Amino acid sequence: MSFALPYLIFLGDAQTDLDAKTAFAAGARSLLIGVAPVGGHINPKWIPALVQALEAGLDIVSGMHTRLESVPEIAEAARRTGRTLHNVRHGETAFPVGTGQKRPGKRLLAVGADCALGKKYTTLALARAFQAAGHKATFRATGQTGIMISGAGVAIDAVVADFLAGAAETLSPANDPDHWDIIEGQGSLVHPGYAGVSLGLLHGSQPDALVLCHDPFRTEIDEYPGFMIPPLSTVINLNVQMARRTNPAAKCVAIALNTSSVSREEGAAILRDCEQAEGLPCFDPMRSDLGPIVAGIVAAC
């Protein structure tokens, strides 16, 4: 998958940071739709700006479920200007049904207590830390933003349900016994809308190591009022139980917390409290030294 870099980020009418989670470094050869609203549809209000971008000589890169060419005005403008439309969530690969068969290589999967709380950043940071420590490691993107960053991957939430596990197996194939696939997680097993994609990814990844990602200041599922986030021990146990269906050795090895909204001192205290409560190493992927975390994960698996 190849995009014309750098990107110019389009944020449309996003009202929250979570809606704008796809946006990152700006540029000027492709317009990247940096908004990820629930449902993944292209807002009609955006169409004039997207057409203007095509007319200005930019390609468009979209992670939406709606295909860009399904919008007549965008399709016509792309044809007229000779620009390219990239639908990152839609590939042409036909995935098999998952087999559940064990394959060589080590795998780490980020799982979550909710959506949009740092699974992508955590796995990107861990992949860099594994490589810095001298380990063979590859970041495996499972969402549109991860694909845009790494240039490869599978938008797992756009795969037909019967083939979710097979897509995850294809994404992290057999490898050297000491090679680590660091797999971006999606959704949450406790999410009322997106648990299915999490389970398929969990079974197909056959992770040796699970890292639970959580926002310690979030008490209920984002945009689902009344659906409370269970205790972390409950979320961990549920993920481990499901993971052991295809890898009996699966275990949760660490917890990643997003403490960016408080000072470093307050964040460190939150990490310490979480370690004491859960009995697992806790870290903030944006603030912590990941060297000891990587060493602990390798030793545990």
* pLDDT number for residue 1: 53
- Of 229, 227, 284, 290, the residue nearest 255 (C-alpha): 284
Is the Cβ–Cβ distance between 84 and 78 less than 8 Å? yes
pLDDT digits (tens, 9 = 90+) for 191-207: 999 999 999 999 999 99
What's the pTM value of the predicted model, to 2 decimals? 0.81
What integer pLDDT is reported at residue 148 of this predicted model? 80
pLDDT digits (tens, 9 = 90+) for 70-85: 899 989 998 998 898 8
Query: Which residue has tokens 């549809």?
Result: 41
| Domains located in the chain, CATH noted | 7-87 (3.40.50.720), 106-300 (3.40.50.300)
Residue 18 makes CB contacts below 8 A (sequence gap 6+) with: 116, 222
Torsion from C-alpha of 212, 218, 224, 226, nearest 10 degrees:
110
pLDDT digits (tens, 9 = 90+) for 110-138: 999 999 999 999 999 999 999 999 999 99
